[in-house]
Amino acid sequence: MINNEGYSINIGGRLLSTQRPLVMGILNATPDSFYAPSRVQGTPDIAERAVRLKEEGADIIDIGACSTRPGSTPPTEEEECRRLLVALKAVRQALPDMPLSIDTYRAEVAKQATDLYGPMIINDISGMKDPKMADLAAKTGLPYVLTSQEATIKQMLITAAKDIAMLRAKGQKDIIFDPGIGFGKTNADDWHIMAEMEKLSVLQLPILIGVSRKSMLQTAIGATADDTLQATTALHAAALIKGAAILRVHDPKAARQTITVIKHLECST
């Protein structure tokens, strides 16, 4: 694994070290996210999903209330906020000490969520589409996931350098970089980026990888999302070897086992 030892993520005074790569479990409070088992609505189902993610090895639970699958119609800001606050209440009641992340690209949604439910990671898949998001993250001191929409590693690094400099100038401390697999890219682009992802180490940031059950895998093996766990695991192993610090996943148990195996491999060299 590349450059994971020196990173820690500060969530309201709680430090999460990436010396052992972290597992971010996906909880979608939506009716239309691409992988049906990750969708939950209603307090009991949300709480049950959250507890299961933790029991299976998630270090962080990433809660989304707005599907970003290709072709989806996003809910209104008001509806996204309503869904997210319901989910956060359920998760906080079930797991009061669990580190959380919110998957939103709307600054007002992030503000309401963090005002009510405390410090958490802001996972913005849009690459700061909402210009207020950078100010919110810097002002609150919350960790911020900067996601790239660029289709090549070269352009990704150029754009990321500018965005990171801007965030640092605003006082942002904790930045996590996500190359944005599946966002603004073809499947071929996604594979090229994964093949070269070790080059992202020059950013000197923890790298988050979100490939779990995505279309690049479905297309490669000719399967639906339901049948891509083994393919996901294989790509997770490659991502860890190339420097991933966080895996965003639907299946924490498999991800945790993969991290353990790669760690054993490293310790044996």
HEC profile for 49-65?
HHHHHHHCCCCEEEEEC
Q: What are phi and psi of 242, to 5 degrees?
A: -90, 0
Q: How many whole angstroms separate alpha carbon 246 and alpha carbon 219?
A: 24
User: Is 33 within 8 Å of 69 (Cβ atoms)?
Assistant: yes
Q: What is the pLDDT of residue 70?
A: 65
List, for residues 123-151, the tens digit of each pLDDT value. Answer: 999 999 999 999 999 999 999 999 999 99
| Nearest CA-CA partner of 28 in 206, 207, 210, 178 | 210
The two most distant CA atoms of the chain are separated, in Å, by: 53
CA-CA distance, 27 to 257, in Å (whole number)?
20
Q: Which residues pair with 15 in a beta bridge?
A: 10
Check whether 220 has a pLDDT greater than 90. yes
Domains and CATH numbers, the chain: 8-267 (3.20.20.20)
pLDDT score, position 113: 97
Tell me the average pLDDT across 258-267.
Answer: 91
Query: What pLDDT sits at residue 34?
Result: 46
Confidence at residue 94, expressed as pLDDT on a 0 to 100 scale:
96
Cβ-proximal residues to 87 (8 Å cutoff; 6+ apart), any chain = 27, 29, 40, 46, 63, 65
pLDDT band at 261 (very low <50, low <70, confident <90, very high): very high
Of 27-41, 44-58, 97-111, least confident by mean pLDDT is: 27-41
What integer pLDDT is reported at residue 265 of this predicted model?
87
